[in-house]
Amino acid sequence: MTKRLLMTSDLPGTLWQLTDGMLVLPAALSSVYCTMLMDKNLMHQARNADSDEGPVGGVKEEDTRRHFASRFSGSSARVQLAVLDPKDHLRNTSDLFVKAFSGGKIGLLDVPCGAGAASAALLGCIAELRKAKVLPREPLEVFLVCGEISTYARSYAEELLDGMGKELEREGIWIKKKSVPWNVLDAESTTSILYAWMDWARDCREYFVVMANFSGFLQGQGKLNDAKPQLDEIIRWAASRRSSVFWIEPQTNLAVKGLIPRILAWFGLRLPSRFRQQWGTEKSIAGSDALFQHPVRVDSRPPVRLSLIRLEASEP
């Protein structure tokens, strides 16, 4: 097996505690998360919630509040697990993240962004690796488009990423973000968000699409078939931009027995040619698991489990 760019032994204790097999959320992320929980009167709820329980988000303010208090930290840890791959379960996945976010201009599409867990965990990890001098501090501009149906979740994501801005800038990372209303069931809003991404993230060195924790809505609420034409459109545009696509889901029954086999069957038939060459190899689907230090329950180390579907562009 080829040597990874980011070896487990390189990971700083501020992100991965080897002896406990435990992830620690990036400091820039957890400190803003705690401040937001206090400002929004959600700290008590977050301290008492089960990270695997609670709503999967939705359009109402209460949905966003409950998701933020209960599931947000698990969603962040799941993305961190994909980015760092501390147990070496995910082939060269961490290399793709590390190479793409090493410097220059990057275009990132985060859908649905919810309260921003995926982008915040990804950029928080890169910042922490730079701080620990594992990665060089090359200037990095991230042209980020966040799409999401809930106005409340979009505003939480903006607040979170704005709150992390100073800490990221100290590590040479600038986020240029645009937040866009998006409904995966609506063709027009999908074309609009893709237009926004084309327009906002121009001439980037690399493009990335992250879709995280969507199984509750797509499988749990039976919406996958209605969403497929719009997801197909996203994937076609991602292919044209030679993007890497990461679809990150938990290892719940809903995801593992429901959504993921359906995605695999659908991708097997419908992928754009740029993604087809790599598809079906051992890199396309993988899983991992770890514990994570809960950011507000000091004695709690809940498990986090990940299923990852990866699309990598190759020359047609």
In angstroms, the Cα distances linking 316 to 206, 236, 240, 278 are 17, 13, 10, 11
Stretch of 82-90, 110-118, 132-140, 234-242 contacting ligand SAM, by CB under 6 A = 110-118
CB of 281 to ligand SAM, least distance (A): 26
Stretch of 26-34, 127-135, 209-217, 304-312 contacting ligand SAM, by CB under 6 A = 209-217
Give the separation between CA 79 and CA 85, rounded to whole angstroms: 10
- Applying CB under 6 A, among 84, 212, 234, 309 the residue interacting with ligand SAM is 212
- Applying CB under 6 A, among 32, 37, 56, 204 the residue interacting with ligand SAM is 56
Identify the CA nearest to 127 among candidates 86, 76, 166. 166
Give the separation between CA 238 and CA 247, rounded to whole angstroms: 13
- Applying CB under 6 A, among 94, 150, 284, 288 the residue interacting with ligand SAM is 150
Token readout for 3 is 């040597």
* Contact between 54 and ligand SAM per CB under 6 A: no
Give the separation between CA 289 and CA 82, rounded to whole angstroms: 10
* Contact between 213 and ligand SAM per CB under 6 A: yes
- Applying CB under 6 A, among 16, 217, 247, 279 the residue interacting with ligand SAM is 217
Identify the CA nearest to 275 among candidates 232, 229, 218, 211. 232
Residues near 253 by Cβ (< 8 Å), separated by ≥ 6? none
Footprint of ligand SAM on residues 174-203 (CB under 6 A)? 182-185
State which residue, 75 or 288, has the beta carbon closest to ligand SAM: 75
- Applying CB under 6 A, among 24, 118, 120, 231 the residue interacting with ligand SAM is 118
Residues near 299 by Cβ (< 8 Å), separated by ≥ 6? none
CB of 251 to ligand SAM, least distance (A): 15
CB of 258 to ligand SAM, least distance (A): 15
Give the separation between CA 75 and CA 315, rounded to whole angstroms: 33
The residues that touch ligand SAM, with contacts defined as CB under 6 A, are: 56-58, 75, 112-114, 117-118, 148-150, 153, 182-185, 212-214, 216-217
